[in-house]
Structure 1
């Protein structure tokens, strides 16, 4: 019984190889792996039976296979062997002109095209097995469905992994390649991010091994302790350290905009990227509000920051420093883009301050710690940090606490001021703007 496209699509593999006939010697073999391959049995005039194979289905359709069968049988009928021509044997000199012409047609249309198709298929397979292609497959199939916040992994792939090794075959990545990535991140002063990146790549290559794309996990071969010591961030600056740090910031030679940025990070309780990538369109200084859009937030939900008098005054000063840019903190090289992601980390590392080891993210923990100690409601503090409340409480607690947070953040700004001044006055900081001066 002749084959049909619908039957070909529904053929299921078995424990052993089996075949289905289309008639005229044409058949399709079905491998246990699910691969399907066209074959043809024919006889040449001497009576000798030969078998030739075309290639895989669906790369070669049923219509292709039937045309190929007819061409093969036409050749065999003139005494020529399609199998020998496919093998590359020369056309016999004593063959009739019509047979030679048919043989040349067969070589051009089947043998050479088969080689081209095989090369194209190999190139396609190689492209699918690059780190970039496989990483996004892993991200879509494994990471996104299983993670409530996959953006950190996407950021690692986009920023560090794919630019470095994206074009390499996943089986060709070495330990040296992984170390080059982590060393580059560590050189930015981000040891913990280097460790996170190694961990993400370790998961990626574990998946590649499971998919039989490689047999070696180069990230797993590097022990975590050789990259960085995993540590929980538990630094909360004391009131005295807040004062020493901010005085050191304002007495340093760093750019004024960077001084204000670090001060705002403490006052507003936002994440670094939420501040450094801020645009003026998000700020309403008349209402003393900063509306951060969801796409810039860790949880993809918009966040409203009530601004203290001090924060408003700082933003007013920054407006003048921005030189008309849409960005609150424009890059030094171009007003059309924000400052570099690691710009504030760099200035903090160069800072000489009598404060124990800390990172910028500790500003958020510092604020949270002192606000809790001052007796402020935990829900207000968590909302100010843009944290999600888990469980049943999170389902029912949808309040924004805007007024309470405004009072709380004003108290916090005044508290920070008192630590900076500590009897020293405001000279080292300098006036921020009209709102701050009028309230002072």
Structure 2
């Protein structure tokens, strides 16, 4: 009888749990708490768990309840009752726990993705595009360990212009918005605001650059492949509404009487001295004002009467032939520079006094706008003679280039020579086989054009 009583099961007690050692068999509770067990691991940690048969497939399952003594015996028994009620309803606690872990991981991943998306703002998108595509950059070569220089997709001027465009009109407006949240409406509203301030062409440029930034991010996997690019959608919207975001093809040129009025007004105009010199040289050569702004003294040869342009719009270097009048004009500027800088010639002919770099071509257009709209400038400093020449229709600095080309044709200059003077690339099969640069012919016809300008002023 005593032997039988010694083998009777006893209810779990805190004292019995505390006495458990590593390697002891699991202890089980009895009665209404049957199924509650305690195990002691190799480190001596004691854990409660619920051992039961799954109501789903009949397999044996174990559900972890907690570690003793953080979870007391009474607390474990309360939890056991909850789990038994759950099981009685046909739910497997272990399966439910595992599903909760899966759902938690999914929710955590979604939260991380949302944080990442929220952190990837339009500002970040623009910087990614500028740093990886547009601008020059340095990277570490993993093979050699050396710093490798990679040229950007644009020249230095284009790099700064692209950065200025995107920062002024995109980052300023949409910069803090997560990329994933920007809609077609947001982009359309931004472009419409640019158009409304009278900058339709700028709106087109902004839209084009923003679209390229989106496409790059999609291409490198920063955005999903099926991401609805709002810039493309906005572009389609403008096309559907027949709003053009490009400049009209230029047709303005100056006839002889207008050329006379401009050349006589230019010395007394509100343009700076360097601007006046640039415009005067443009009338003699037909060169782009941006090319003249970047001219260096080392590229001018007074003896040969040439000016070498290293970088042009079509990326083809060329020699510009200079008329006698243009050479004399440049010599006077050259001598004044030597005098002003004590014999040390500056690098650039038309440089900024503050940066010593070439003055920017856009300053010509900005000054032209101020001269034409003095009433819009607070405390403007221009006299009645200096403001814009209102006796003729409006014109721009680039119209001078069209004026020279048209004037050469009127004088009888052959088409191929006139195009060579302007530095235009030959098209089609002609560009493949006719590689003659017409330098002698250009010199002859530019001198004829200079003579014609002199005749216009004298009459």
What range describes the TM-score normalised by the shorter chain of this pair? 0.5 to 0.7
Tell me the distance in 2 between the aligned counterparts of 1:360 and 1:247: 16
- 1:102-135 deviation digits (Å, cap 9, x = unpaired): xxxxxxxxx99x989x859954995496331564
Are residue 388 (structure 1) and residue 388 (structure 2) matched?
no
Tell me the distance in 2 between the aligned counterparts of 1:399 and 1:201: 37
2:208 match: secondary structure: helix
Aligned-residue offset at 1:403:
0.8
Are residue 337 (structure 1) and residue 337 (structure 2) matched?
no
CA contact (8 A) 2:204 2:245 kept: no
Tell me the distance in 2 between the aligned counterparts of 1:277 and 1:93: 78
Question: What residue number does 2:315 align with?
Answer: 300
Aligned-residue offset at 1:303:
1.7
Gaps of 5+ in 2: 1-25, 28-42, 50-63, 71-103, 135-152, 372-387
- CA-based RMSD of the aligned residues comes to 4.5
Aligned-residue offset at 1:394:
1.1
Among 158, 182, 191, the residue aligned to 2:163: 158
* Matches for 1:27-426 after TM superposition, within 5 Å: 92-94=66-68, 123=116, 126-127=119-120, 130-133=124-127, 135=129, 157-166=162-171, 167=175, 169-171=178-180, 172=182, 174=186, 175-179=188-192, 186=198, 191=199, 193-198=201-206, 200-201=208-209, 203-204=211-212, 207=215, 211-214=225-228, 216=230, 217=233, 230-294=247-311, 297-319=312-334, 320-321=336-337, 323=341, 324-332=345-353, 334-349=354-369, 350=371, 351-422=388-459
Q: 1:192 to 1:124 in 2, by over 3 A?
A: closer
Aligned-residue offset at 1:288:
1.5
Q: 1:200 to 1:239 in 2, by over 3 A?
A: same
Paired residues in the alignment total 312
TM-score by length of 1: 0.58
Tell me the distance in 1 between the aligned counterparts of 2:226 and 2:131: 14
Q: 1:200 to 1:193 in 2, by over 3 A?
A: same
Q: 1:259 to 1:122 in 2, by over 3 A?
A: same
CA contact (8 A) 1:278 1:329 kept: yes
1:343 match: secondary structure: helix
Tell me the distance in 1 between the aligned counterparts of 2:209 and 2:284: 36
Q: 1:369 to 1:215 in 2, by over 3 A?
A: closer
Higher relative contact order (CA 8 A, sep 6+): 1
Gaps of 5+ in 1: 1-44, 47-73, 81-89, 97-110, 141-148, 423-440
TM-score by length of 2: 0.56
CA contact (8 A) 2:288 2:398 kept: yes
